[in-house]
Structures are given as structure tokens and as C-alpha cells.
């Protein structure tokens, strides 16, 4: 029977990584094993930053495992989802041989990490349908069955297109490519979704991994706390490939505070507010004459196509509103991605877009002859 370790680069299956001072199983009251300064920094009033942090802070790992409903040995903490993506590509893909399969338009870091590793990139584009964007899971499976694709990255809810994948369809893909590829589902926006997470299925599918982050719903983008949840054997390999001290102590403290009951209750309230604002903004934009289409979204953002995206982009900037210009992406030459803000911020978006609709109705073009 195949093992998830069969997908790991052969030279890394028994790789022990760097044995940092904090990974040593020792204890004491006088710490002289890491060449740290014995004195706190004069810039550190709490006097806690002169010691290296735990590579995987035990309390935070336990709290994250409880949050996501998994065992702690299935959790690896890193510097946002970006580090997890990079670790997975480096651990599984031999340069020039093992490929990464993606479904563009999608989050750009999958392709960036593949390129940096020298891993071939296989693109199976999303289909733009009347119901929204749809992933071609058959094409992704074929990439693993008939090419050297070792990693399949899926984004659900998808960035920038907003759709979420049906869990059963993803699990069918996992079964189809078992022994050939690891399926990685990036759930960075999972808290905003009406579709169930795939995390409960990880225990039964060793070739499934899920990415989560505290950057979005938990409002800790600057702390850079992300996790990969996977089979414990794969987690052990990734940890040995990780930098010695990937989780800064101040970030770990912030994350722990954000996972306390009162903070989690506030987060749930804000997620509900964002969902409500997402629905309101969707309905309002859909009625605007300058709009071609706004896609149903399961994230905290909307992808919208405009009759004159340049005019809308300029109008938003003139109002002080910065959105993501998606026009350089294949198939999105008329599209902008708009994050869901506060009600007042969303009102500013609506007002700016309405000004373009009014200009179009008056026959004013953004590119007059």
C-alpha cells in the first residue's frame, strides 16, 4: 500500500533538518546553549525577546488544533500560508521533474513557489460558466495520472474568483490521485464560506492537506500566522525542512490572545457582518449599469467585471478606495477584485461606482477621442 511519504522527495524522507537549540529535549534555569545575549534588549520592556522562541509553540499548536478540530500532530505553524506553500513544493517536488498543477486564475504564490523550486507548472484553467467559475477536477487528475504532477493546489473559497469547491468532489479527486499526488486545499477564506471545510476528511485521506491562516477572519495579517494541516508523517517532514525559528514570540502571543473565547466570539460577529455586507454589496453592484457581472463569492471579497474597468478603477482611487486590479490576469481583462470593508467603506465603493454609471449614462467615456 502506498504511503504519503512516497510522495516526498527521496532525499528528504529521512532528512533530520537543523537541530536548533530549542529543539533539544533539555531543561534548566541557566540557558547557555544558543549563543543568545544573557541581557534583555533595552528596547524590550518585557525582557522576553533575547531568547529564541519555541519552533512550534506548544500552547499555540494546541489552541489551533482545538480551533480546527484536529490532533495537534497534524498541525504545522508557519509564517502565513505562503511558507506552507513553499515548504510543500520544496519537500515534494524535485527540480525539473515533479510538477505543480493549478487552476488559474488563482492565488499567485503557487506558481511563484513552483518557479523558485524549478518545478514544472501545469495549468488547468477554471471554466467561466453561467453559475460562476468551475474547477476542471478531471483535468487536474489527469495532470497527476499522465504527467509528473506531484502537487495539486486548490483554493476554496477561490481567490480571486470566489467560488468554493464541493467537499465530495475534492475527496473523489484525492481518491483518484492517491499514490500519485498530494491535494492541497487552501482555505484561507474558509471562515466566510457557506461550504463545509475539508479538515474533517484529513484523517481518512493521507494525500489531502488543508491550509488555514489567522490573517483574514482573525484579523492578524501582520502577525503572519498560518498552518498546514496534514498527515502527521508529512508534518514531520515539513518541520524538518522549515527554518529553525519560524514563529516569532510576539506573533505567537497575539495568536493565542486571538484564540481565547471572548476574542473568538468577536471574530464570529465580524465574520457574520462581513457576510452580510458581502451580500449587500453584491446586490447593489448587480444593479449598476456600468457592471457586466459580479460573481457570487464565498470569501470576503467580490470579483466584478465592468464595461469600463479603467474608469471604475480611477473613480475608486479618486475616492481614496484601493481595490485589486485583476486585468493583467488571463480571462480577467475587465475585472477588479473588491475586498469587503466596513459598511461606511462599502458605501464609498458604491458611490464611486455609481458615479461611473452616471457618466456612462450621460455618454461620457473614460477614453474620449
Q: Rounded to a whole number, what is the distance in angstroms from the first to the last CA of the chain?
A: 68
The confidence band for 369, taking pLDDT boundaries of 50, 70 and 90, is very low
Q: Is the peptide bond before 105 cis (omega within 30 degrees of 0)?
A: yes
Average model confidence (pLDDT) across the chain: 95
Q: What is the pLDDT of residues 81-95, one digit of tens each?
A: 999 999 999 999 999
Domains of the chain, start order: 4-20+52-259 (3.40.640.10), 263-361 (3.90.1150.10)
Distance CA 212, CA 22 (A): 25
Q: What is the pLDDT of residue 364?
A: 64
List the strands of the sheet with 335-339, edge to edge.
291-294, 301-306, 335-339, 324-325
Determine which of 191-195, 234-238, 356-360 has the lowest per-residue pLDDT on average: 356-360
165, pLDDT greater than 90 = yes
- Gyration radius of the chain over CA positions: 23
The confidence band for 122, taking pLDDT boundaries of 50, 70 and 90, is very high
User: Does 236 or 362 have the greater pLDDT score?
Assistant: 236
Which of 33-42, 142-151, 303-312 is most confident? 303-312
Q: What is the mean pLDDT of residues 153-170?
A: 98
297, pLDDT greater than 90 = yes
Q: What is the pLDDT of residue 365?
A: 53
114, pLDDT greater than 80 = yes
Instruction: Report which of 163, 232, 176, 168 is spatially closest to residue 201, judged by C-alpha positions.
Output: 168
Q: What is the pLDDT of residue 47?
A: 74
The confidence band for 1, taking pLDDT boundaries of 50, 70 and 90, is low
Q: What is the mean pLDDT of residues 326-348?
A: 97
Q: What is the pLDDT of residue 26?
A: 85
Q: What is the pLDDT of residue 130?
A: 95
Q: What are the C-alpha distances in Å from 94 to residues 18, 90, 120, 125, 170?
A: 20, 8, 10, 24, 25
21, pLDDT greater than 90 = no
Task: Say what the pTM is.
Answer: 0.94
The confidence band for 148, taking pLDDT boundaries of 50, 70 and 90, is confident
Q: What is the pLDDT of residue 368?
A: 41
Amino acid at each position: 500500500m502506498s504511503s504519503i511519504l512516497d510522495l516526498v522527495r527521496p532525499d528528504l524522507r529521512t532528512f533530520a533538518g537543523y537541530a536548533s537549540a530549542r529543539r533539544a529535549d533539555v531543561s534548566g534555569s541557566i540557558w547557555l546553549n544558543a549563543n543568545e545575549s544573557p541581557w534583555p534588549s533595552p528596547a524590550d520592556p518585557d525582557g522576553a525577546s533575547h531568547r529564541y522562541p519555541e519552533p512550534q509553540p506548544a500552547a499555540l499548536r494546541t489552541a489551533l488544533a482545538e480551533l480546527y478540530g484536529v490532533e495537534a500532530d497534524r498541525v504545522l505553524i508557519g509564517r502565513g500560508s505562503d511558507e506552507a506553500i513553499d515548504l510543500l513544493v520544496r519537500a515534494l517536488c524535485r527540480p525539473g521533474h515533479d510538477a505543480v498543477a493549478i487552476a488559474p486564475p488563482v492565488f499567485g504564490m503557487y506558481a511563484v513557489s513552483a518557479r523558485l523550486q524549478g518545478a514544472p507548472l501545469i495549468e488547468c484553467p477554471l471554466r467561466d460558466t453561467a453559475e460562476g467559475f468551475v474547477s476542471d477536477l478531471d483535468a487536474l487528475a489527469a495532470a497527476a495520472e499522465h504527467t509528473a504532477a506531484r502537487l495539486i493546489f486548490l483554493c476554496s473559497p477561490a481567490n480571486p474568483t470566489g467560488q468554493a469547491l464541493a467537499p465530495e468532489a475534492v475527496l473523489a479527486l484525492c481518491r483518484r490521485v492517491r499514490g500519485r499526488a498530494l491535494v492541497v486545499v487552501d482555505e484561507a477564506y474558509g471562515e466566510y464560506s457557506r461550504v463545509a471545510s475539508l479538515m474533517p476528511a484529513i484523517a481518512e485521506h493521507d494525500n489531502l492537506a488543508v491550509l488555514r491562516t489567522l490573517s483574514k477572519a482573525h484579523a492578524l495579517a501582520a502577525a503572519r500566522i498560518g498552518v498546514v494541516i496534514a498527515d502527521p508523517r508529512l508534518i514531520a517532514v515539513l518541520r524538518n525542512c522549515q527554518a529553525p525559528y519560524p514563529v516569532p514570540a510576539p506573533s505567537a502571543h497575539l495568536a493565542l490572545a486571538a484564540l481565547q473565547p471572548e476574542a473568538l466570539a468577536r471574530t464570529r460577529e465580524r465574520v457574520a457582518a462581513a457576510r452580510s455586507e458581502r451580500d449587500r454589496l453584491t446586490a447593489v453592484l448587480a444593479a449598476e449599469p456600468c457592471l457586466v457581472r459580479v460573481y457570487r463569492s464565498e470569501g470576503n471579497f467580490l470579483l466584478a467585471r465592468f464595461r469600463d474597468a479603467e474608469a471604475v478603477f480611477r473613480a475608486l482611487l479618486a475616492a481614496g478606495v484601493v481595490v485589486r486590479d485583476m486585468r493583467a490576469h488571463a480571462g480577467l481583462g475587465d475585472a477588479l477584485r473588491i475586498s469587503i470593508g466596513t459598511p461606511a467603506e462599502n458605501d464609498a465603493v458604491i458611490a464611486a461606482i455609481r458615479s461611473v454609471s452616471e457618466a456612462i449614462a450621460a455618454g461620457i467615456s473614460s477614453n474620449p477621442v
